[in-house]
Amino acid sequence: MHDITGQKAAQQEMVRLNRELKDRNEELSRTEEMLIELNSDLEAKVLQRATELEGSLQQFKFLADSVPQIIWTADADGNMTYFNQNWYDFTGLSPEESIKWGWQMIIHPDDFPNCMQRWSHAVKTGALYEVEYRLRRETAGTYRWHLGRGVPMRDSDGRITQWFGSCTDIHDQKLAEEELKAKNRTLSLLNEAGLALSAELDLQKIVQRVTDVAPEVTGAEFGAFFYNQTNEKGEILTLYTISGVPREAFSKFPMPRNTAIFSPTFHGEDVVRSDDITGDVRYGKNTPYQGMPEGHLPVKSYLAVPVISREGKVLGGLFFGHSRAGVFTAQAEEIVKGIASQAAVAIDNASLFDTLREKNKELVRINADLDNFMYTASHDLKAPIANLSSLFSLLNRRLKDKIEDRDLPLFDMINHSISQFNRTIRDLTEVVSIQKETEEVSQVSFREVLENVQTDIAQMLAQSEGTIETELNVESVAIEKKKLTKLALQFDHQCHQIPLSGTAIGSAGNVC
């Protein structure tokens, strides 16, 4: 009989191992089922998350494509990663051309350096990005102003993960600002010109100032002011001033004639404004040039405005030109018409000033001649009158007892006439003396002078039973005080009434 104890133990161990293996297999099966379930859950969550992200991305793209601006994103290094549809519609670039740094090609060359400097600074420092630049539009091949802005997005540690930005079209706003600046500049120039012209009385300076300022506000390449001036001999000369080009550019050509194009200006009939004067029906109809002389400055855009005085006299004409067509606008025409009006007033004032200056010189000469006459007359008459007075006194003494009563009035009349002669000579001498005296002109009180004069002639007034009547509307007058006092004393002592009146002129006065 065999001993099977060992065999029994081995069988039991096998059973135990099989049971344990079975348990482990069952546990592995359960683990596998759990893993499959977990994987299914994870796949579902990943799919849900991906769906959500795709939805968010679609929402972002939908939102980005819905706004009127260009929207873009860039990575932390500044490489462009996304543009919305507005970008592609505006630039005509493909996504491959736009991503990373391809967008640089549509920025205006003049704006590119500043744009890149600011973008590089923003990427390096994390500062907000903002810059104005012009982008080229694919459909028209033209540039439009945009405002570019970008902000960084950071993670929880503060590191930049990407950039979000936009480009907003500000072209119309930019043009409006530039137009407003141009208008303000124009108004400033017109105001300066108006003030300068109103204060200027030199004709040459006036016409040169007008010629200089007008091209600046109209955009003309050059301008000329042809005007008439009468010389000392009464001859009418046509002169001119030039701006924008050397005077030699015009000096070799003859003066403009009253041709069909120039006639409306020189006759003060109308303003002539042409986008291309060479295409005007009136152009090229006159000999010998049949247009512009050889070597003349090239002119396409043309603007001519007559300068007319207050009395309707044509003083001259303002002429402006540009080698490019279509430069002068209706606004430029109105501006030049305003300048022409200011010029006409200034020229009238200068002409009036010249006339007054000549009249004043003539009055000074007449006054000097009159002074000389009065001086000569007063001195030349002194001796004859003195002799006549002595002879009459001698005759009166000799005939004192022989004069009949009927002849006494005759002797009185002769004596009175001699006294009048003496007073006249004395007055003439006094007037000449007053004219030659000089004293600083100051504001002199009428009433103060009147009181002093009344004191000086009080006895004379009492003897002649005279009065002084005054009607003074001003307190003072700009005059030499000594002259005013002496003039007030020049009256006939037999006059019984002395009328004095004063009329205000500005802040001073005038005695009349």
Number of domains in the chain: 3
Residue 488: its pLDDT value, please?
55
Task: Give the strand pairing for 70-75 and 80-83.
Answer: antiparallel
In a domain, residue 143? The reply is yes
CA distances to 190, 268, 349, 355, 489 from 310, in Å: 20, 12, 11, 16, 45
Report which DSSP code applies to 293: P
Residues contacting 297, CB < 8 A, separation 6+: 221, 222, 245, 249, 321, 323
In a domain, residue 372? The reply is no
In a domain, residue 49? The reply is no
Same domain, 126 and 224: no
In a domain, residue 6? The reply is no
Nearest to 431 by CA among 477, 379, 487: 487
Same domain, 249 and 343: yes
Boundaries of domain holding 265: 177-347
Q: What is the pLDDT along the chain (512 residues), one digit of tens a residue?
A: 556 676 777 777 777 777 777 777 777 777 777 777 777 666 666 666 655 555 556 665 666 666 788 999 999 999 998 898 899 989 888 888 888 777 888 999 999 999 999 999 999 999 999 999 999 988 777 899 999 999 999 998 999 999 999 999 999 999 998 888 877 877 777 777 677 666 667 777 777 777 777 777 788 888 888 876 665 655 454 667 778 766 666 655 556 666 777 888 888 888 989 888 887 777 766 665 555 656 567 788 999 999 888 888 888 888 888 989 988 888 888 888 888 888 888 888 888 888 888 888 888 888 777 777 767 766 667 777 777 777 777 777 777 777 777 777 777 787 777 777 777 777 767 766 666 665 566 676 767 777 777 776 676 667 666 677 666 666 776 665 555 555 555 544 444 444 444 443 333 333 33
Classify residue 375 by burial, with Cβ atoms within 10 Å: 0-12, 13-18, 19+.
middle
In a domain, residue 150? The reply is yes
Neighbour count for residue 122 (Cβ, 10 Å): 21
Instruction: CATH number of the domain at 505, please.
Output: 3.30.565.10
Same domain, 138 and 190: no
Amino acid at 59: Q
Backbone φ and ψ of 50, nearest 5°: -65, -40
Same domain, 217 and 286: yes
Same domain, 216 and 310: yes
What is the spatial distance between Cα 272 and Cα 285, in angstroms, rounded to a whole number? 17
Nearest to 130 by CA among 97, 167, 79: 167
CA distances to 219, 242, 309 from 296, in Å: 20, 14, 30
Same domain, 214 and 321: yes
Same domain, 78 and 191: no
In a domain, residue 154? The reply is yes
pTM (whole model) above 0.75: no
Per DSSP, the three-state class of 106 is helix
Same domain, 277 and 203: yes
